[in-house]
Amino acid sequence: MKSKKSKIITAIALCAIIVCAVILGVVLTRKQEAQPNAIMELSVNPDVQFLLDENNNVIKVNYLNEDAESLLYGVELKGKSANYVTQKFLELSLSAGYLELISQDNLTPTGIRFDITISCENTGDFTKLKEELVELSNKYFDENGIVAGTVVEINQNLEQAVEKIGIEVANLKNLTKEEILELYDKTSQDLEDIALSLRNDVETVIQNLKETLNVEQYKQILEELENQINDSSLTQELKAQLNEQIKLAKQQYEEILSIFEKDLQEKLEEFRTLSQTHYQEIIKNMNQKREQHRALIEAHNQYFENHKEEVKQMIEEYRQSLQSA
C-alpha cells in the first residue's frame, strides 16, 4: 500500500503533468494561429492584395477591383504560399485575357509591367521572397512567350496599403505596424464574401450604426478624460476621481462597441447573402470569357513556337527598358 507521502507526490506529479499539457496546448494553439506579417499586392489589372503570415502564407485575400474579383473569386488561395498565389494569379490572368498576346494582328506588343508590392515592418525579411517572385514570374513569362517583366518593391508604407480596402489613415494614428496589420486582418474578415459592388453600402451601414449608437461621442469622452489625467497640477484626490471616471467611461465605450460589433455582423451577413447572386453571375461570365479567349491563346502559342528567338529578344529588350526607367 502506498504511503500518504507517496500519494501526495503522485498527486503533485499528476497536477504538474496537467499544467504542462495545458501550457503546451496554449502554446501550440498560438503557433497554429497565423500572425499577420505583411501585405503583398499583385498588379497587372487585375489588382489584388494578400495578407501574409510569418511564413509568407496567405491569411486573407482582398480584391482591389472588379477584374480581380471576377478572376479570383472561388479560387482557394488561403493557406497557400506567396509563390503559389503569384503563379496562380499569372496563370488565371493569361487564361482570362489580361496578359497581352502576340498574334498576326499584334506583332509588336507594348509589354506588361507586373508590379508586386510588399508592405511590411521589416523590409530585410523579404529579400529572399523578392528574388523568388521575380524568378518565378519572369520564368512564367519566358515559357509562355509573354513580353513582360516583373518589378518588386518592398516598403514600410502599411498605411497606403491598408487604405486600399477602405481603412481610413486617420484611424491609424498612434497604431504600431503590428496593430495596423491586425486591423487589416479584422477588416478583411468583415468584408469577406461581400461583393465589391456592395462595399459602398457597407460603408453607409457602418456610418449609420456609429451615429445611432453615438460611438464617436463615447470615444471622444474617454480620450478627453485620459488626456486630463496627465495634468501635473491635479491633486491625488482629483486624480483618483478622474481615474474612476475613466474606468466608467471605458466600460461604457466597450459596451457600446460590443453592441456595434453585434449589429454590424448581422448586417454583414445580409450583404453576404445578397452577394451570392452576384458571385454566381461573375463565375459564369468568367468561364465564358476563358472559353472565348482560348483561340487567341492557341494562336499566340503557335506564333511563339515558330518565332521563339524573336519573341525572346522582345522580352529581353522590354526588361532592359524597365531597368533603365
Residue ranges covered by each domain of the chain: 38-169+299-324
Give 197 or 16, the one with higher predicted confidence: 197
Tell me: pLDDT of 29 over 90. no
Please tell me what DSSP assigns to residue 36: P
Per-residue cell: 305: 513556337
pLDDT per residue as tens digits for the range 84-108: 999 999 999 999 999 999 987 788 8
- Element spanning 255, H or E: helix 236-306
Mean pLDDT to the nearest integer, 50-67? 97
pLDDT of residue 32: 60
Q: Whole-prediction pTM value?
A: 0.84
Amino acid at residue number 5: K
Q: Sheet containing 38-43: give its strands across.
A: 58-63, 47-52, 38-43, 112-120, 148-155
pLDDT tens digits, one per residue of 93-152: 999 999 999 987 788 889 999 999 999 999 999 999 999 999 999 999 999 999 999 999
